[in-house]
Structures are given as structure tokens and as C-alpha cells.
Amino acid sequence: MRHIRTLAVVAALLVGGAAFPHEGTPAARPGFDYSKAEEMPFGKAADPAKAGRTVKVAMGDTMRFTPARITVKRGETVRFVVKNDGKLMHEMVLGTRAELEAHAEMMRKHPGMEHDEPYMLHVPPGKSGQMGWRFTKAGEFLYGCLVPGHFEAGMVGTIIVTEK
């Protein structure tokens, strides 16, 4: 299913646009049916209002996230509250290393690419946003800013998901 959405985004780029804004994600996703959230290799979207834990993440023009490492337990639902302290647009995108590297490459080729998925949070300068995520598998995952050049400059953090 996710691959179909990715192909739809690429197809939309080729014909001149896409349906989802790449800037300014609302604090919550109104109308999103979390009960039908797709399982990803790194978990699934969850209602941030129902999270058992809140993790605050700051990002800025130093091309770093604070904290740069987050540890959660498998099965834990986290509400990420993300603040952009910089003057540039930044984002927090969850994924595996391979997925983030592939997405970063696509962003370099198509910097105006418009998209929005529940594992992405786009935060304009001086603003905050939030997303909920349930980590269903143990392992090491990443979060990164895929605005062209930011990921390559080191704007990436690590999420360690431990067994309960």
C-alpha cells in the first residue's frame, strides 16, 4: 500500500503537482482514522492524544535534532511534540535508514515535492507540531529532516526500540 502511495507521489510530480502540502502540518490530523493506520517496518500512526508518553524534540538551523537519540519500548505509543527553533523550514520524518536515504535522494531531485504521511511532520520556522506513533517492532530506526541538504548535513536522529 505504501509503495502505491509513493508511486502516486512520483506520478503526481511528473505531471506537475501533488495533492499534499509539504509545509505546515497541523497539530493533529483531523479526520485521520488511526484504527486503519498502515503498519510500517517501524510501527504505525497513533492518535497523539492517546499516547502514554510525550517526547519533545527541538530542531534548528544547526542541522541537528535535540535529543539526537530516543529510546522507547516495543508497543509504546509516543506523542512527539516537535519545535522548529530555526529560520528555515524543517521536518521530522520517521523511517528506516534505507527509506530515509531513498526519500532524501528523491527530495534532492524534486525539491518542491509535495506530500504528507502520518510518519512525517513538517514544521515552519518558529512553529510546533505533533504526531503520534506506536512502535510495534524492536530495532533501530531513524528520524531525519529530508529538506534538501539537511539530512546530508547530519540532521538525523536515532530511535532505539527495545523489547518490553
**pLDDT digits over 114-149, tens only?**
777 899 999 999 999 999 999 999 999 999 999 999
Which of the two residues, 4 and 163, has the higher pLDDT score?
Answer: 163
Structural domains of the chain sorted by starting position, each given as residue range(s) with its CATH number in brackets: 20-27+38-162 (2.60.40.420)
Residues 6+ apart with CB under 8 A from 39: 136
Task: Indicate the pLDDT class of residue 17, thresholds 50, 70 and 90.
Answer: very low
Peptide bond into 67 cis (omega under 30): yes
Task: Indicate the pLDDT class of residue 28, thresholds 50, 70 and 90.
Answer: low
E strand or H helix at 8, and its extent? helix 2-14
Cα distance between residue 12 and residue 115, in whole Å: 10
Average confidence score pLDDT of the chain:
83
Cα distance between residue 18 and residue 53, in whole Å: 34
**Residue 27: pLDDT above 60?**
no
CB 53 within 8 A of CB 94: no
**pLDDT digits over 30-54, tens only?**
678 888 899 999 999 999 999 999 9
- Specify the pLDDT at position 32: 80
Output the pTM of the full model.
0.81
